[in-house]
């Protein structure tokens, strides 16, 4: 690119805006899933259901939290 043509093409700007919006939304969803995971793991006690059932109950939220943050953020 020479100095007189320093503008970004419209499709680059549009793609960048779309990807940034997607990343912000996915970061928000991932953080909400993390909060839900933390709160549900605090509420579910080992003495009530046992370790295996507790793990099965909260594992889905932990996986959602991690995968959303990795793919979207």
pLDDT digits (tens, 9 = 90+) for 26-57: 999 888 988 888 888 788 777 777 778 888 88
Q: What is the pLDDT of residues 11-32, one digit of tens each?
A: 999 999 999 999 999 999 888 9
- Res. 1: pLDDT tops 60: no
CA dist 39 → 33, 35, 51 (Å): 10, 6, 17
16 within a domain of the structure (yes/no):
no
9 within a domain of the structure (yes/no):
no
- The whole-number pLDDT of residue 54 equals 80
Distance CA 34, CA 41 (A): 11
Distance CA 71, CA 23 (A): 9
70 within a domain of the structure (yes/no):
yes
Total-model pTM: 0.70
Q: Give the residue numbers spanning the domain of 41.
A: 31-73
Number of domains in the chain: 1
- The whole-number pLDDT of residue 55 equals 81
Distance CA 66, CA 30 (A): 7
24 within a domain of the structure (yes/no):
no
62 within a domain of the structure (yes/no):
yes
Residue 45: what are its φ and ψ, rounded to 5°? -90, 145
């Amino acid at each position: 690119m020479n100095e007189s043509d320093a503008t970004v093409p419209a499709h680059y700007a549009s793609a960048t805006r779309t990807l940034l919006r997607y990343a912000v939304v996915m970061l928000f969803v991932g953080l909400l899933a993390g909060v839900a995971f933390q709160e549900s793991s605090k509420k579910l006690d080992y003495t009530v259901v046992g370790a295996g059932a507790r793990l099965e109950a909260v594992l889905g939220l932990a996986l959602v939290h991690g995968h959303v943050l990795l793919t979207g953020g």
